[in-house]
Amino acid sequence: MVRSILFWLHLASGVLTGLVILMMSATGVILTYERQLLALEDSVYARVPAASETRLSLDALLDRAALDDFAPDRITVSADPTDAVVFAAGRDRTEYLDPYSGVAYTQHDGGLRRFLGSVRGLHRWFNATGENRDRARMITGTSNLLFLFLICSGLYLWLPKLITAATLRARLWLQPKPATSTARYFNWHHVFGIWAALPLLVIVATATVFYYSWANALVYRLAGESPPQRGGVAVADRVEAAEAPAPLLPLQTLFESATQQVDDWRSIAITLPPTASSSRVNFSIDQGNGGQPQKRHTLTLNGTTGEVAEWAPFSSQSTGRQARSWVRFLHTGEALGIVGQTVAGLASLAAVLMVWSGLLLALQRLLRYFKRRRGLARSATRLATMPLGESR
């Protein structure tokens, strides 16, 4: 009885959300190596310097980048001496400067970045805009939540009623010569489902945190903490707003102080003070590939004295904060490096095949139902038109 109820709930949920889950899984496959693809596209903003060339200071580069219509608020410096220094103003504009000449690179057309951005928007909210985006997020969020139910219920339904070596083997491995198309889709649905179940549980469960505030709060509560409150103003910020600080030290001096915190940094992002009255300069120091939270640290320097106002390596963060950071990059697999990304991509591909085969099985079940109904209707008509007394 329980199995029958669970099966029909599983089937109904799959039919209701199948196409949305199929879209999210397919776009997830395309986004598997997004970070590497974008880095490859941006590799044109790099050159090997001549032996006689020396790097300009960040202050000099900032002066050259700060044009009349461009006021950068964030600078990213790579440890690779051939890479450009990146200046950004919010999310609207980015400039890439040669660190040796200070010349801004002519930007490529960004076709790959636009394509992947469009795929990401489709993955999250069907590329909807304005008020429609909230409605689209509700659909993808609900579908993601039902996908989590499909995975959990599918693990139970995967078990055959009669557990033998033969029945388990039929659901663990692809059958080379299935007797019918239904048998083929049944085999695909179970094989791809069971092998991808664990990574899909991680991918789908972590995505739930992005859609629902209760899921985000649950991460902190499971770690034994209260969820952080948004919208507060830090005490230090209020103090700085009331007290005009002395002039800031050269940005290059502050940057060199930041590099002393760790030896093997790969990139450092500098957030410039938002106002003239602020003296705190924030540095995000990354020792990994950009998607490994355990290798990302935060440093805040007093811009007027160069003293460390706050040093927050990943290990110093609370358990809840660490868990929330892991959630973001476990969803894409980036937290586990290229291997994790590959596993996430393969799991998404398996989800495409699993959902597709499940929808085909549901369609075939529906067609068989209508076929039986037509057969019963013909039989009833034939019986009704037989002359009285004729054998029935």
Give yes or no: residues 124 and 170 share one domain: yes
Give yes or no: residues 55 and 32 share one domain: no
Is 0.95 topped by the overall pTM?
Answer: no
Give yes or no: residues 114 and 211 share one domain: yes
pLDDT in tens, 124-162: 999 999 989 999 999 999 999 999 999 999 999 999 988
Mean pLDDT of 234-257: 70
For residue 245, the model assigns a pLDDT of 59
CA neighbor of 146 nearest in space, from 28, 13, 291, 274: 13
* Residue 240 pLDDT exceeds 70: no
Give yes or no: residues 5 and 118 share one domain: yes
Please report whether residue 388 resides in a domain: no
Rg (CA), the chain: 29
**Rounded to whole angstroms, how far apart are CA atoms 45 and 82?**
9
Please report whether residue 324 resides in a domain: no
Site of tokens 């461009």:
70
Give yes or no: residues 35 and 157 share one domain: yes
CA neighbor of 146 nearest in space, from 4, 332, 19: 19
pLDDT in tens, 150-195: 999 999 999 998 889 999 998 999 998 888 999 999 999 999 999 9
For residue 239, the model assigns a pLDDT of 47
pLDDT in tens, 349-367: 999 999 999 999 999 999 9
Mean pLDDT of 284-291: 93
Give yes or no: residues 146 and 270 share one domain: no
Contact by Cβ (8 Å): 345, 177 = no
For residue 69, the model assigns a pLDDT of 77
Q: How confident is the model at residue 29 (pLDDT cuts 50, 70, 90)?
A: very high
Residue 71 neighbours by CB under 8 Å, 6+ apart: 89
Q: How confident is the model at residue 369 (pLDDT cuts 50, 70, 90)?
A: confident
Q: How confident is the model at residue 231 (pLDDT cuts 50, 70, 90)?
A: low
* Residue 295 pLDDT exceeds 90: yes
For residue 107, the model assigns a pLDDT of 85
C-alpha neighbours within 13 Å on the C-beta side of residue 337: 4
Burial group, residue 51, by CB count within 10 angstroms (0-12, 13-18, 19+): exposed
Q: How confident is the model at residue 235 (pLDDT cuts 50, 70, 90)?
A: very low
For residue 257, the model assigns a pLDDT of 94
Percent of the chain with pLDDT over 90: 73
Please report whether residue 189 resides in a domain: yes
Give yes or no: residues 137 and 190 share one domain: yes
CA neighbor of 212 nearest in space, from 101, 138, 116: 138
Burial group, residue 177, by CB count within 10 angstroms (0-12, 13-18, 19+): exposed
Percent of the chain with pLDDT over 70: 93
Q: Which residue intervals of the chain are DSSP H helices?
A: 2-30, 34-41, 58-65, 111-125, 131-158, 165-172, 181-211, 213-222, 235-242, 251-259, 319-330, 337-385
Give yes or no: residues 174 and 308 share one domain: no
CATH for 299: 3.10.450
pLDDT in tens, 317-338: 999 999 999 999 999 999 999 9
Cα distances (angstroms) measured from residue 63 to each of 51, 58, 71, 341: 25, 9, 10, 39
Q: Which own/partner contact pairs does 314-321 have at CB distance under 8 Å and 24+ positions apart?
A: 318/223, 318/225, 319/223, 319/224, 319/225, 320/219, 320/220, 320/223, 320/224, 320/225, 320/227
For residue 390, the model assigns a pLDDT of 58
Please report whether residue 330 resides in a domain: no
- Which domain does 24 fall in, by range? 1-45+108-225+337-383
* Residue 88 pLDDT exceeds 80: yes
Mean pLDDT of 22-30: 97
- DSSP for 22-77, please give it: HHHHHHHHHTTTHHHHHHHHGGGSB-PPPTT--PPPHHHHHHHH--TT----EEEE
Give yes or no: residues 82 and 172 share one domain: no
E strand or H helix at 311, and its extent?
strand 308-312
Q: Which amino acid is at 370?
A: F
CA neighbor of 268 nearest in space, from 306, 243, 301, 226: 301
* Residue 207 pLDDT exceeds 90: yes
Three-state SS for 280? Answer: strand
What's the number of domains the chain is made of? 3
Structure tokens at 145: 């939540």
Please report whether residue 363 resides in a domain: yes
Give yes or no: residues 181 and 289 share one domain: no
For residue 196, the model assigns a pLDDT of 96
Give yes or no: residues 239 and 203 share one domain: no
Mean pLDDT of 233-258: 70
Please report whether residue 270 resides in a domain: yes
Three-state SS for 281? Answer: strand
Site of tokens 């179940």:
197
What DSSP character marks residue 314?
G
Give yes or no: residues 170 and 51 share one domain: no
Three-state SS for 318? Answer: coil
Q: How confident is the model at residue 276 (pLDDT cuts 50, 70, 90)?
A: low
Residue 69: count other Cβ atoms within 10 Å of its Cβ.
6
Please report whether residue 327 resides in a domain: no
| Sign of the alpha-carbon dihedral angle for 216, 218, 223, 225 | positive
Highest mean pLDDT among 222-231, 234-243, 345-354, 368-377: 345-354
**Rounded to whole angstroms, how far apart are CA atoms 55 and 252?**
11
Please report whether residue 263 resides in a domain: yes
Three-state SS annotation for 86-128: EEEECCCEEEEECCCCCCECCCCCCHHHHHHHHHHHHHHHCCC
